[in-house]
Structure 1
């Protein structure tokens, strides 16, 4: 079986994530290909798309959100994701059990003795008037009946697990600060959530396997589970295995992939890329060694924005006092500094759009 070393896996990831070459795909198609973008920080998907799309304009994502072709909702790993409307409706029922289990795992003591189905039914009844509500407003409507759990716990149970919700614009629009207003996903999109099939098949799970590999492969089944948070995909993998090719990594672990997916030569040059907080390319795997060194693994879950140099996390970046600050994680060569500075200048132009009387200057920190 062919062994793919870390650099080969790195280049495959960059190619699948549109980080090797920017794509001309429309925003909706890019979001679909990436299987969504993690979006609990509302502005970060704009940076993720800027790094992946040629000539990306923030208004394109704004239009997709207000036009309801993409939506913000709790999905993979019980985290807010920006996904297409089609994927939100097709995937949500497959994630329901995981979403409940994760909330219960966090608040088991606070939710002891509570019938989750009754809470869900009451929440849907409150939202039946089709009026957007904050989580606090939703909880206020129900806390007389369930006074025991803390408001935050009851609210998270309802919004993140029991009632599929969309977070409505202006939340998530470019350079816009707005609180979360929730509306049932089916109400916002005007279509029902796809039900799970009654038979023993799992077409949604099989689709998730194929879609994940298209955007993240080659990858292991453990990587797939870490990305989506779902435990019940072995049957889906078994069902599609005959369609796949297999490899090994340098530690002997089996990697699955689509046969015709791009796997560039390991020596393919990789440009500097600026990634947002919680980017797919880092959090889409259980084993993140293909893109970040073990010493810096904590950066990806702590919300640091990363700079890729030669395809690997080599620096972090932030905006403070109207300046873009770059903090290297190792000494940089003169050529690397020049490449980072050039991409940083392009990023400052992007971040500056729509902001009056503001300029961001890239500066490297030792």
Structure 2
């Protein structure tokens, strides 16, 4: 498959700089199976309508990762260096994207503050470096003091994230530190919405997938098959797996909140669709042709053209039908990306 097949034009003014207020006031586009001649069935809702779109017995699976202040600004000598952490290696050691990286060499010291430094251990491709911090035990505290919440590059903040972003860029489920990007579908949920879902008879189950900075990276290859995904760490407990399996056995549908939840569920699923406990890393790359084993519905924001996430939603709901859904979203003014609106996709075999 060619990456060009997943391209589309998006007007810059549709990229959201702030989330809707309240969060569940965001728009929601439901995409259901349609006919070959008519295309998908598209219905405009709001996130607060979600309880009415789900059924008693359905299970909502959310990602409870918490975004850490993973962007650091330091100096190598007199030269400024920006570091974006994306994957822990060991205590105090991380893989990161450095900018500019070409002047960094193994052994170089990057100074972030008087008592906060890191040494370059190795260099990889595309600005990837491995660094070791000087005081692993103090790293979490140092990140809180000197790091920034790593907003995506398409959110316009010339001076970096502001005080409002510290709250806006965390979901209500955030509990376990480790993500360097938010699981953005979860940003739409509020306590009131969760209460309404519970009253509807929809169970909520949590898993953890620490979203990596690779989610920001464009696909630079000409073909989909050439692209290499970055691994991300995840945990699905035995209790969570059992609750999901019980809901499925009783006829409930699995509703993944976000592509991160979906990717971990599909990584943890057996051939028969049963979900097993999972602890480790996954680099699963879901593209059209993937056989989904677990997830029946997907709540997900509107993604970048040519991105692995747009490829994933095309795999889930059909490439041509997702192109029609995105054309509808653009024509009717839906807001895109992390702080934007969202969709409810039904899994289907589609054009």
- The structure that has the greater radius of gyration is 1
Shorter-normalised TM-score: what interval? under 0.3
Which is strand-richer, 1 or 2?
2
Q: Under a length normalisation based on structure 1, what TM-score does the superposition of the two structures give?
A: 0.27
**What TM-score does the superposition give when structure 2 sets the normalisation length?**
0.27
Higher relative contact order (CA 8 A, sep 6+): 2
